[in-house]
Amino acid sequence: MNLKKKRIFIHDSVVTPSGQRGVDRCYNAYAQALIDTYPGRVFIYSARAANINGAKNIRPPSMWAVPSAISNKIARFDNLYGATLADLSANVYYSPFYGYMRTKIPQVFSSYDMIYEKLPQYFPPSAAGNSEHIQEKKACFERAALIICISLNTANDILEMYPNISKDRVKVVYLGADDLFFRGSEAACENKPYFLYVGNRDRYKNFLRFIDAFGKSGLKKIFDLQIISPVQNDFTSNEKEIIHRHGLADYIKVEFSISDDELKKRYAGARAFVYPTEYEGFGLPVIEALASGTLVLTANTSCLPEVGGDASLYFDPYSTDAIADMLKIASHMTDSERQERILAGRSWAAQFTWENSQRAFVRAIQELLNEV
C-alpha cells in the first residue's frame, strides 16, 4: 500500500467500560485521534451497540449468536475473524487492553500497570482468572511491535520483569485529565473543612491505613473526611472496626458515582486530596486534583512522584504515623504556603491533557509505520 493510504485496525478489547474508567477513556481518545489522522481508513472491531463516527465499524460474529451458544469456541472464532479482517484491510493493529487476537500485521498494545505481577499478595496467581490475565499480558508483550505505557514507572516495570523485551518496543505516553478539571469553577460549599479520598477502597488502595491515620491524627474535630467511591458498597468489618475505634462515624461522609462536574467541586473545596495507594500505573486522580486547584498528599511509591511532581507532598504509605504526620502538616500549612503549592500544581498538571496524550500516541503509531 502507498504510505498515504495506511490503514488502522482498532480492536475494542475493553472488557467492562464502566469499571475500566481510564482504559475506556484511552480507547475513545486514541480511536478519535486515529480517525482524525487517518480519515476513512480506521476500522473498529467492537461489540458495542454504538458506532464511532468516522470509522468503519465492524461487529464480531458472536453478536449474532444465540446467547446460550456463546462459548470459548465462538470467542476464538471472533478473534480469528477479526485477525483475518485486520490482515486483509490494515497496516497496524491496536488494542487498548491486551486480548488474544493474533495478526500478521504489527500489533500495538496499551499497558497500564503491572500490579498483578508486582503485588501478588492482592492478586494471587492461584485465584480465578489472575494467572490467565498475567499470561495474556505476557503473550501480548512478546508479540507486540509496540507497547504504549502510561508512565515511565510502568515501562520500567515491564522491562524489569521481561528483560527479553527490547526497550525500542516500549514507549511512554502519559494519560490526560478531562478538560473540565482545568477550567475554573466553584468549590463545593461545606460547613467544615475536609480531606478528600477518591477511588476504590480495597486491597492495594491502602484505605485501612489511611482512615487509621486520620483517626490517630486527632484532626476529626477540625476536618471531616469525604470519600467518593465509583461503586456503592458498605464499609467492611475492618473499616467499621477502625471507624468505631477512633469514633469517626460522625466525621466521615461517603458519596458514590458522582459526576465529573461534582467531583471537580469536591477536589477544589478540599483542604487536601489524599491518595495513599501502594501502587498505581499512573494515578489519574492526582492530576485531576492538581488541575482542580487543591493540595495533593500522596504515596512516595511507583509512578506517583513521577506524576505528582514537586508540587505534591509525599509520605510512606506503609506507615500510619507518616500518613498522620502529613495530614497534620497540611492542616497547619499557611494560606500562602498552600496557595503556592496549588499554583505550582496547576502549572505542572497542564502538561497532562488528552490533546497532548493523543498527539504523543499518534506520533508513536506514525513512527512504527515509518511516517515520521
Provide the residue ranges of all domains of the chain, joining segments of one domain with +.
Answer: 3-176+353-368, 179-349
- Range 179-349 has CATH code 3.40.50.620: no
- Cβ proximity of 279 and 302 under 8 Å: yes
pLDDT at 307 over 90: yes
pLDDT at 334 over 60: yes
The string of pLDDT tens digits covering residues 1-43 is 444 689 999 999 998 887 787 899 999 999 999 999 999 999 9
Confidence (pLDDT) at 64: 76
Q: What share of the chain is helix, strand, coil (3-state, %, to 5)?
A: 45, 15, 40
Record the pTM. Answer: 0.93
Nearest CA to 311 out of 278, 340, 332, 336 is that of 340
pLDDT at 333 over 60: yes
Q: Is the model more confident about 349 or about 66?
A: 349
- Cβ proximity of 90 and 43 under 8 Å: yes
Nearest CA to 11 out of 83, 87, 113 is that of 83
Burial of 258 (C-beta count, 10 Å sphere; 0-12/13-18/19+)? middle
Instruction: Classify 3-176+353-368 by CATH class.
Output: alpha beta
Q: Which residue has the cell 495474556?
A: 136
What SS3 class is residue 230?
A: coil
The string of pLDDT tens digits covering residues 227-258 is 999 888 999 999 999 999 999 999 999 999 89
Q: Is the model more confident about 366 or about 16?
A: 366
pLDDT at 347 over 80: yes
Ranges of H-type helices in the chain? 21-37, 72-89, 115-118, 130-143, 152-161, 207-217, 237-245, 260-269, 284-292, 304-308, 320-332, 335-349, 354-368
Domain 3-176+353-368 matches domain 179-349 at the CATH topology level: yes
pLDDT at 302 over 50: yes
